Amino acid sequence: MATTAELLLQLQGIDYQLGELERSKGYLPDMIETLRVETLSAEDEYDTALKKKEEDLLAKKDLELSIDEANESLEKLKSQMTTIKTNREYDALSREIDHKKEDIKRREDQLLAVMAELEELEEKLAATEQRREEVVRINAEQMSAIQTEIDSIGTKIRIKEDERKNILVRLDQEVVAVYERIKRGKGSAVVAVRKRACSGCFKALPPQLVQEVRRGDRLLTCDSCGRILIWEDED
C-alpha cells in the first residue's frame, strides 16, 4: 500500500499535469497563430517575387517594342540624309539622329538591366517556391497536430481530475489541507531529500530529520521552507 508521502507525490504530479494542461489552453492557440503567420509570410514572399517577375516581363516586352520602333525611326532619319540640300538641314538631321541613337542606347541598357533582374528572379522564385511548399506542408501538419492536442485537452483534464479524486479519498483531509496550503505558497509542496538537504530550498537538514524522513513512518516538513519531505533512493 502506498504511504502518505507517496500518495502526496502522486497528487503533486497530477496537479503539475493539470497545470500544464490549463496553460496549454493559452499557448497552443498562440503556436497555431505563429505557424499561420509564418505560412502567410512564405506565401506572400512567393507572390511578391512572382508579381515582380510578371512586371519585369511586361517591362521587357515594352522596351523591346520601343527599341524596335526607335530603330525604325532611326532608319527613316538616315534615309532623309540623301534628300537634304543645305548644311543647316544636315546639322539638324545629324543632331536628331544622334539623339535617337542615344535614346536607343538608353533603352537597350534598361533592357539589359531588366533581363539581368529576370535571371536573378528566376533563381529566387524557384527557391522561394520550394520554401513556400515546405513551409505550407510542414506547418499544416504541425497545426493539425496542435489542433488535435487542443481538442483533447478537455478529456485529458477530466481524466486527471478523476485520478486526483481517487488519491484524495485515500488521504487524511488534514494532510490534504497542509498540502494545499504549501502548494499555494510554494508551488511545489512535496520535495525529495537529496544529499542530506531539502531539494526545495537546498538547506542542509539535521541528520536526525534525514533519518526520520528515510524511515517514512510519518509526515515531516523542512524547518526552513515548510515543504513536505520524502525520501528517494540515492546512488
Model pLDDT for residues 155-191, shown as the tens digit of each residue: 999 999 999 999 999 999 999 999 999 999 888 899 9
Cβ neighbours for 110, distance < 8 A, ≥ 6 positions apart: 63
The per-residue pLDDT for 141 is 97
Q: Quick count: other Cβ atoms within 10 Å of Cβ 86?
A: 8
Cα-atom radius of gyration of the chain, to the nearest Å? 40
Q: Region 48-66: what's the mean pLDDT?
A: 95
Q: Which CATH architecture has domain 28-152?
A: Orthogonal Bundle (1.10)
What are 229's strand-pairing partners?
191, 220
Residue 63 corresponds to which cell in the numbers above?
A: 522596351
Confidence class for position 5, pLDDT limits 50, 70, 90? confident
Cβ neighbours for 43, distance < 8 A, ≥ 6 positions apart: 132, 136
Angle between helices 173-186 and 4-80 (to 10 degrees): 30
pLDDT tens column, 63-107:
999 999 999 999 999 999 888 889 998 999 999 999 999 999 999
Domain-by-domain residue ranges, the chain?
Answer: 28-152, 174-231
Q: Region 143-156: what's the mean pLDDT?
A: 96
Please choose, from the candidates 219, 232, 229, 233, the residue with its C-alpha nearest in 3D space to the C-alpha of residue 198. 229
Residue 75 corresponds to which cell in the numbers above?
A: 532608319
Q: Say how far apart CA 117 and CA 120 lie, in whole Å.
A: 5
Please choose, from the candidates 189, 153, 201, 206, the residue with its C-alpha nearest in 3D space to the C-alpha of residue 26. 153
Cβ(225)–Cβ(186) under 8 Å? yes
Query: What is the SS3 assignment for 188?
Result: coil
Angle between helices 4-80 and 87-168 (to 10 degrees): 170
Q: Say how far apart CA 63 and CA 56 lie, in whole Å.
A: 10
pTM of the model: 0.68
Q: Region 139-144: what's the mean pLDDT?
A: 97
How far is the CA of 93 from the CAs of 34, 67, 86, 90, in angstroms?
66, 20, 11, 5
